[in-house]
Chain A
Amino acid sequence: MQTNTAVKVDRLTKIFDTGAAVEDLSFEIRENEFVALVGPSGCGKSTTLKIVSGLIPPTKGKVYIRNAQVQGPIADVGMVLQSPVLLPWRNSLENVLFTAEMGGRKPGGYHRRASELFKLASLEGFEKSYPHELSGGMQQRVAICRALLLDPSLLLMDEPFGALDVLTRERMGFELQRIWSASKTTVLLVTHSITEAVLLADTVIVMTARPGRIKAAIKVDLPRPRDVHTLREPRFIELTGAVRDNIEAQWVE
């Protein structure tokens, strides 16, 4: 194993009552790498993310984070899910500080960092608003701020922009790229959007239909920082085509 491997998934299999969700899945994520995970619905992307985070145990196989085997909920990780999952009795600021409080830290020391993040996510002025007073997209941005509060070295995101409109989604994607390159965290992003995957990731992992296996791992060699112009580059179109071919090939099989 290389020393700069952040995440190593080794022959992972997860079998539910409903059958195998993922089977013999192996991949590695280098330190500071941005990896996107794409694949048909139900192929085990969320399951993989949950096993990597240590929330559920694998049936077979192992996961290592920085050479330590995962055996329970891991530390120093930020998680963003498809729905915001905010606590309705906490305002936005208190929801963001939740991460600190759960870790047994005094929330007082994190107000500065929280307001930085609110600025970054264009949420200034909404610190005191309760979740039901925010739009779905704003709630999701609060959830992203919550995941980033402690500057985790690993960011796990499960379709974090799924509920956003296309323009906000694009902006949040570029914002994520900026945060990632500024803080140099390692990112594993599950997404349904091929465009988003190629635009943001260093490597796009394509999974097969259930039970999920690795179909292809496509290196994205586009220069950074990427922006809206990247979307029109021939190389970008070529790469999204390659990802698409790998997904569509399964429909023919």
Chain B
Amino acid sequence: MMWKHTQNIRRAAEAPFAFLVILILWEYGAGFIGVPEYILPVPTDIVGKFWQTLTIQAHHLGVTAATTMIGLAMALLIGVLLAMSVLYIRPMKAIVLPILAAFNSIPKIAIAPLFVIWFGLGVEPKILLAFLLGLFPVFVNSITGLGEIEPDVLDLARLAGGNELRIFTKVRLMNAVPYITDAIKVAFPLALVGSIVGEFIGGNNGVGYLILSGQFNMDTPLVFATLLSITLFTTVVIGLVVFLERVLLKWRPSRRKR
């Protein structure tokens, strides 16, 4: 017990410790070698800049977070609905699957400028990009989660009088939960990329825009401070997903208790 306990503490402390070492090396090493600030600002400069630009950061991060989360929510909704249509409407499988597969092979980033032409410089093209990038992983995982049910389970459900609605809500959807939380972990970073790329190519809002303006002014500390904002955002969201998994998937055999 004692041994296991100290081992756990050690393991928990390892990552922050390594991180701290890197930060210290970065802080003093960069100055020692003489790397100029516009190439690589040191951590204290970045944090200083972050603090200085806090309200600007909050504003732009807020915009990016909103477009990302709206795009992700749409990807979740449409992804699950598309998977359902493929599952329940036979001809849909022949239509939806090839279209989506073909569409997925187009690099969405390459067609992003089109969206600016079509939808302007507002939030719409950003949301659309976030949605399109997040859609495929949600769709694929939903198909597996909703569709791959043990035949014996379906037999027992039907014998007990289960209609398709009850089988959907009490068997398929429940089976899909871990697949969908897994999909969110992939789709969220993709949706964020969609938003930021959208901000790169048009408009004057969002962290993508802030990074670009940092680049124009050779304000490298601003670029890094914005990266710090983005990191804080992704950490919070991934933390939320992990928390959600803890709550929804408490029935899973836990790896820690083994």
A interface residues (Cβ-Cβ under 8 A, vs B) = 50, 53, 55, 73-75, 77, 79, 81, 83, 85, 87-91, 98-104, 130, 132, 146
Contact of B159 among A55, A104, A130 (CB under 8 A): A55
Contact partners of B230 in chain A: CB under 8 A: none
B251: CB under 8 A from chain A?
Answer: yes
Contact partners of A87 in chain B: CB under 8 A: 153, 171, 174
Q: A89-B177, A130-B251, A132-B253 are in contact. Are A104 and B161 (CB under 8 A)?
A: yes
Q: Are B156 and A79 in contact (CB under 8 A)?
A: yes
| Distance of B152 from chain A, by nearest CB (Å) | 4
| Distance of B121 from chain A, by nearest CB (Å) | 46
Contact partners of B153 in chain A: CB under 8 A: 85, 87
B interface residues (Cβ-Cβ under 8 A, vs A) = 150, 152-153, 155-163, 166-167, 170-171, 174-175, 177, 249, 251-253
Please report whether the interface of chain B is mostly helix, strand, loop or mixed according to DSSP: helix
Q: A87-B153, A90-B251, A101-B166 are in contact. Are A77 and B174 (CB under 8 A)?
A: no
| Distance of B161 from chain A, by nearest CB (Å) | 4
A103 vs B153: C-alpha distance when bound (angstroms): 14
| Distance of B80 from chain A, by nearest CB (Å) | 18
Q: Are A89 and B174 in contact (CB under 8 A)?
A: yes
Q: Are B160 and A98 in contact (CB under 8 A)?
A: yes
Can you name 11 extra interface pairs (CB under 8 A) apart from A89-B175, A102-B160? Answer: A53-B155, A55-B158, A75-B161, A79-B156, A81-B152, A85-B150, A89-B174, A100-B160, A101-B166, A103-B162, A132-B251
Q: Using CB atoms, name the residue of chain B closest to A150.
A: B160
Contact partners of B170 in chain A: CB under 8 A: 98, 101-102
Contact of B162 among A77, A89, A102 (CB under 8 A): A102
Q: Are A73 and B158 in contact (CB under 8 A)?
A: yes
Q: Are B152 and A99 in contact (CB under 8 A)?
A: no
Q: Using CB atoms, name the residue of chain A closest to B152.
A: A85
A104 vs B159: C-alpha distance when bound (angstroms): 12
Q: Are A104 and B166 in contact (CB under 8 A)?
A: yes
Q: Using CB atoms, name the residue of chain B closest to A74.
A: B159
Contact partners of B158 in chain A: CB under 8 A: 55, 73
| Distance of B173 from chain A, by nearest CB (Å) | 10
Contact of A79 among B155, B166, B171, B253 (CB under 8 A): B155
Q: Using CB atoms, name the residue of chain B closest to A78.
A: B159
Across the A-B interface, give the 6 residue pairs with the lowest CB-CB distance, nearest first. A102-B160, A102-B162, A103-B161, A85-B152, A132-B253, A73-B158
Q: Are B156 and A85 in contact (CB under 8 A)?
A: yes
Contact partners of B253 in chain A: CB under 8 A: 132
